[in-house]
Amino acid sequence: MLSARSLFHEIHDHDEAFRLFCSIAAKGEDQGGWENGRISRLVDDQWLAPRIARHGADEDKHGRIFNALLHKRGLGPVEVPESTDYTMILERQGIGLAHSRLRRDEPLTEADVITYLAHSRVTEQRAAEQMRLLRRVFGEHPEIGRAVRMISADEDNHLAYCHEELLRLAAAGHGRQILRTLQDTARAEIRTYRDVSLAVMAHMGAILRWPRAKSAALAAGIHGVFGYERLGGWHRMTTLRMPARLDALGGPAAHESLA
Which pTM value belongs to this model?
0.95
Q: Per-residue pLDDT for 232 more than 50?
A: yes
| Cα-based torsion angle of the residue sequence 214, 215, 220, 222 in order, rounded to the nearest 10 degrees | 120
pLDDT tens for each residue of 18-42: 999 999 999 999 999 999 999 999 9
Evaluate whether residue 86 is within a structural domain. yes
pLDDT tens per residue, range 41-50:
999 999 999 9
Which CB contacts under 8 angstroms, 24+ apart, belong to 94-102? 95/119, 95/184, 95/185, 95/188, 95/189, 95/192, 96/35, 96/185, 97/35, 97/39, 99/35, 102/35, 102/38, 102/39, 102/42
Task: Answer whether residue 250 is part of any domain.
Answer: no
Report if residue 255 sits inside a domain: no
Confidence of residue 259 (pLDDT cuts 50, 70, 90): very low
With contact defined as beta carbons under 8 Å apart, do 76 and 15 qualify?
no
Q: Please, what sign has the CA dihedral across residues 149, 253, 108, 164?
A: positive
Contact 17, 11 (CB under 8 A): yes
Q: pLDDT tens across 80-135, in order?
A: 999 999 999 999 999 999 999 999 999 999 999 999 999 999 999 999 999 999 99
Determine, yes or no, domain membership for 105.
yes
Task: Answer yes or no: is 103 within a domain.
Answer: yes
d(CA 115, CA 238): 13
* pLDDT beyond 70 at 257: no
The angle at the Cα of 78, spanning 126 to 76, to the nearest 5 degrees, equals 105
pLDDT of res. 2: 76
pLDDT, tens digit, for every residue of 134-169? 999 999 999 999 999 999 999 999 999 999 999 999
Task: Report pLDDT for 85.
Answer: 97
- Over residues 3-23, the pLDDT tens digits come to 889 999 999 999 999 999 999
Residue 94: its H or E element:
none
The answer to whether residue 247 scores a pLDDT higher than 80 is yes
Report the distance separating Cα 178 and Cα 113, nearest Å. 10
Split at pLDDT 50, 70, 90, the class of 251 is confident
Q: For residue 132, what pLDDT is reported? A: 98
pLDDT digits (tens, 9 = 90+) for 168-193: 999 999 999 999 999 999 999 999 99
Query: Would you say residue 14 lies in a domain?
Result: yes
Instruction: Write the CATH number for 189.
Output: 1.20.1260.10
Q: Let me know if residue 259 belongs to a domain.
A: no
pLDDT given for residue 252 in this prediction? 75
- How many domains is the chain partitioned into structurally? 1
Residue 256: the pLDDT is 63
Rounded to the nearest 10°, the torsion over CA 197, 200, 202, 204 is -130
The answer to the question of residue 157 being in a domain is yes
Instruction: Show the domain range for 233.
Output: 4-237
Q: What is the pLDDT of residue 208?
A: 98
